[in-house]
Every structure is written in structure tokens, then in C-alpha cells.
Amino acid sequence: MKVLRRALPLAAAIMLTAVVPAVAAPAVIVLPGATSAEGIATGRGATFYAGDLFAGDIYRGNLQRGTAELFIDAPAGRMAIGLKYDDRTDLLFVAGGFTGQAHIYDATTGADVATYQLGGMINDVVVVRGGAWFTDSFQPNLYFVPVSATGVPGPAQTLTVTGPAGQLTGDFNLNGIEATANGKTLLVAHSANQAIYTVDPTTGASAVVAGVNTPNADGIVLSGRDLWVVQNFDNLVTRWRLSADLSSGTLTKTITDPNFQIPTTGALHGNDLAVVNAKFDTGIPPTATQFEVVIVDR
């Protein structure tokens, strides 16, 4: 009986632990002190990074705890738009916007690793095995920065994009960028054409992803054959199911949220999609006094 009396409380404790639900992630995470916002990338665990567009600063936070703080106080004159984290090298890649630059930081210490002068308007970036691709919204170019397995970056290379993705039809052309898991196909959002294209990273040849109409396309996120497109001034994110050959797509979900205020880029974390509010409805540069990350069901 003594054994039974001791076992019962233990069993009850185990049962109680089993039924306690996990703490839900917060719906909004404020970037304290930010004067603008644009890009977001997820790192290890629940870590995320977000950029202050016009200041170039980088914030680091935790999506599960709902915290964020200034991580990199960037030198004057830098900008931060698209961001991507590389788990293999622990490097953070940042598109430098109107400066035409790209920056690489140590994602643990925040130290500068490299800066490149690439082109016109460096808008977004995607990490692939062996380096990172950057888009240029003003020129029909993609830029590849090779990085060794030990995290040493090499000279940047320019790829001219041909076909429909290379058209310069508006103020902002090539924008968001993603890559298939094997890195053999790139996907780009073309803001002016309201379309998504595939790009061959060897030749630069492009083709439209039929059926995917995306006004105000900004950042994109790819997971398997699911593609999320952040449509900034539409205040929504659309999710598309791509065909096996990536030649077409079908709309599967439209994501809206009362906390959206011109979302620009997104990043996946588990079953959640974290997006950044740029608040361009207040002006460019924006005049809002607070900027935040909004977390929604993906």
C-alpha cells in the first residue's frame, strides 16, 4: 500500500504534464526602437532576425517567447531589406536595398564578415548550398556570392536573367527569391509583372509559373511545393500549390490578419508564418512609431 500511495501522485503528475498545452506563440512581436522594417529570417530553434530597412540595423528575437532586441547597430548609410540565415555557416545574409550592397554578418556575434557592391537595388536573398543569390529590382540581374563550407565568402558573380523575369516593366521588378531544395531552380517574384517565374541558375533563362497572379508581390517563401507570396499593399499573403515541374500553381489559401499593416516578407517556423509590417501606408520612409512581426497560421 505504501508503494501504491507513492505511485498515485506520481502518475497524476505525469498525466497532468501530458495534458498541459504548449504555450502559444504571441500574435505580435514589437521591434523595440525600430524606425522602419522590411525583412525577416528564421535562425536556429525559435530565433529570428529582422531588419530596420532605412537604418540597416538588425534585430534578433525569439518567436516562441515573443521577444526581440537590437542585435546589430549597423554603420550609417546601410540598409536592410531581405534577410536569410545559413545554418551550415552561421552567417546572416542581408540585401542592402538602394545602396546596391549586400552584407554578410556573423549570426552569433553580429560581426561584419563581408560587404559587396553589387548593383542597383538589392532587394532579397536566398541561401543555397555553396552561397547565396541576391535580386536586383532595377536591373535584370541576379548576383551569386559563393561561400565555402567554413564560411569564407568569395568574389560575387553576376547572372543576367533572360525571358519574362528579366523584363524591366515598372519601378520594382525582380523582388523576392527562393530556391528548390537542390538549388537547381530559383523562383523569383516580379512585382511589376505581378507574377512568379522560375530561373535557371546556370543560364539565367526564365519561365512564368502559370496561374499564379500576385499583385504587389514582395517576399516569397518556399517549402516543398508550397509557395507563400507576401502581397504588401494588398495586406495579405497567398499560398500556392505548385506543380511538380514548377510550371504552374493553384491558390490554396489567402491569409489575412487585422494586425497586418503592409506586410513585406515572411519566414516559416513550425506551423506558423512570421511576417514583417513595413507600414508603407504611412509614407516611404514610414512615419509610424512602432514596427512589429506578426505571426499567423501558415
Alpha carbon 262 to chain centroid, angstroms: 15
Integer-rounded Cα Rg, in Å, for the chain is 20
Q: What does the pLDDT average to over 221-238?
A: 98
**CATH number of the domain located at residue range(s) 27-297 in this protein:** 2.120.10.30
**Which residue is listed with cell 555557416?**
89
pLDDT value at position 83? 98
Element spanning 12, H or E: helix 2-19
Beta bridge partners, 42, equal 48
On the question of pLDDT at 225 being above 90, the answer is yes
Give pTM, 2 decimals.
0.91
Beta bridge partners, 297, equal 272
Q: 190-217 as b/e, with b when 16 or more CB fall inside 10 Å?
A: bbbbbbbbbbbbeebebebbeebebebb
CA distance 105 to 29: 23
On the question of pLDDT at 16 being above 70, the answer is no
Rounded mean pLDDT of the chain? 93
pLDDT value at position 2? 36
Summarised one tens digit per residue, pLDDT across range 45-60 is 999 999 999 999 999 9
Tell how strand 141-146 and strand 131-136 pair up. Answer: antiparallel
pLDDT value at position 3? 36
Domain assignments of the chain as residue spans, ordered by start: 27-297
pLDDT value at position 25? 59
**Which residue is listed with cell 563550407?**
149
